[in-house]
Amino acid sequence: MPINNTSIIFIHSATVVTGVFHRIADNIRKKGYTDIHYISYSPLKFSFTGAVLHTREKINAIIRDVTKKIIVIGYSYGGIIANNLSQFGLNIVRAIYIASPLTGNSVDDITLRKHFTGNIGMSQKSKDIININRSYPRHKYFCITFGMCKYTNDGFVKMSNAFYQKQHHIHIQWTSHLFGLVSPKVVKIVSEHLC
């Protein structure tokens, strides 16, 4: 994939802002990628559908050339948003999902519903959270999951519900959902799976 015709888009989780990606972005720049963007959305303002549409609008404003290839890197809830972007005709060629509950699970669904209906105060706006498109990605992808201690649950997401195929997945033990992005292993794995 030609680096000069590729944009990298980072999408954060519902509770962590784009600043968490800087270590990963710095490593990606060392590989020659320079067109790197951080898309931010407010969980206080948007429902799930609103967050997806807002993210699409931001990408369209940044990338005017429809032939430009897009690599999306989504963390947690941002990965679910990223997985729903390809339906809008964006030229997404690859996605890297980090601790993203792509296929849903009881830990994630309970946590998200509680988070979006109680803790953030979205109540009525969050009703479409249960209508998340959990379908198989239309583009190439890679999934990274975390597990606290020796478990396959990172505190929010179950490993078995955060990837589609084993050959497109790596699990990192002894890493929690909230601290996985600062792991040197994650920084290295993301840069290795850009192509």
Residue located via tokens 């105060």: 121
Q: How many domains does the chain have?
A: 1
Name which residue leads in pLDDT, 160 or 70. Answer: 70
pLDDT surpasses 80 at 111: no
Q: Read off the pLDDT of residues 10-50 as tens digits, 9 standing for 90 and up.
A: 998 877 776 788 899 999 999 999 999 999 888 777 777 78
Q: Taking a C-beta distance cutoff of 8 angstroms, is the pair 30, 8 a contact? A: no
Q: What is the pTM of this model?
A: 0.83
Domain of residue 151, residue span: 3-192
Tell which residue, 27, 8, 6, 29, has the closest CA to residue 181. Answer: 27
Q: What is the pLDDT of residues 136-162, one digit of tens each?
A: 777 899 998 888 877 787 877 778 777
Integer Cα distance of 31 and 156 in angstroms: 31
What is the model's pLDDT at position 9?
A: 96
Cα–Cα dist 17/12, whole Å: 6
What amino acid is encoded at 166 in this protein? K
CATH number at residue 111: 3.40.50.1820
